[in-house]
Amino acid sequence: MPGILKSDASSCSNPLLPFFYQEEGLLKDIYALRFEVFRVSGATPLVSVTVNTDDCELGGDKLSTGYYIGQLNPTTSSLDVGPYEIVWYYKVESTSSEKVASYRFEILDPRYFRFSARFESYVGSDIVQLAAYDLQDRQRALMEASREVDRLTGRIFFPKYMELLHTVRPSSKRIWLDQPIIGVGEIILESAGVVTGTLSTYELDNQAIRIYNRHLSGLLSPDDRDNPRIAFASIGVPAASIEPAFFPSGVKNIRIKGAFGYTDPDGSPFGEVPQPLKDVVLYLAFRRLVDPLGIDPTLTSPGRIRSAKTRDQSISFDTSGYSSSSLTGDVRYDQILADYCRPFHVGVAG
Tell me the pLDDT tens digit for each residue of 29-44: 999 999 999 999 889 9
Whether the predicted pLDDT of 144 surpasses 70? yes
Whether the predicted pLDDT of 71 surpasses 90? yes
- Per-residue pLDDT, averaged over 123-149, amounts to 96
- Per-residue pLDDT, averaged over 45-62, amounts to 97
pLDDT of residue 247: 84
Whether the predicted pLDDT of 327 surpasses 90? no
How many CB atoms lie under 10 A from the CB of residue 304? Answer: 20
What are the φ and ψ backbone dihedral angles of 56, each rounded to 5 degrees? -60, -35
Whether the predicted pLDDT of 242 surpasses 50? no
pLDDT of residue 240: 46
Of the two residues 32 and 299, the one the predictor is more confident about is: 32
pLDDT of residue 141: 97
Burial of 147 (0-12, 13-18, 19+ CB in 10 A): middle
Whether the predicted pLDDT of 193 surpasses 60? no
How many CB atoms lie under 10 A from the CB of residue 74? Answer: 22
pLDDT of residue 350: 41
* Domain map (residue ranges) of the chain: 3-119, 130-157+266-350, 160-260
Nearest to 33 by CA among 93, 107, 105: 93
Helix (H) or strand (E) holding 337: helix 331-340
pLDDT of residue 151: 95
Which pLDDT band, with edges at 50, 70 and 90, does 346 fall under? low
- Per-residue pLDDT, averaged over 197-202, amounts to 75
Q: Cβ(184)–Cβ(23) under 8 Å?
A: no
Of the two residues 309 and 212, the one the predictor is more confident about is: 212
pLDDT of residue 300: 62
Which pLDDT band, with edges at 50, 70 and 90, does 342 fall under? confident
Give just the sign of the alpha carbon dihedral 48, 52, 55, 56.
Answer: negative
Residue 12: alpha-carbon gap to chain centroid: 19
pLDDT of residue 93: 96
pLDDT of residue 237: 46
pLDDT of residue 125: 96
Whether the predicted pLDDT of 291 surpasses 70? yes
Q: Cβ(15)–Cβ(123) under 8 Å?
A: no
Give the C-alpha separation, 45 to 1, whole Å: 19
- Per-residue pLDDT, averaged over 254-278, amounts to 95
Whether residue 297 is preceded by a cis peptide bond, meaning omega within 30 degrees of 0, is: no
Residue type, 249: S
Which pLDDT band, with edges at 50, 70 and 90, does 348 fall under? very low
Whether the predicted pLDDT of 349 surpasses 50? no
Give the C-alpha separation, 227 to 216, whole Å: 14
Task: Give the end-to-end CA distance of the chain in Å, rounded to a whole number.
Answer: 39
pLDDT digits (tens, 9 = 90+) for 54-65: 999 999 999 999
For domain 3-119, the question of CATH label 2.60.40.1930 is answered with yes
Give the C-alpha separation, 289 to 284, whole Å: 9
Percent of the chain topping pLDDT 70: 83
What DSSP designation does 95 have? T
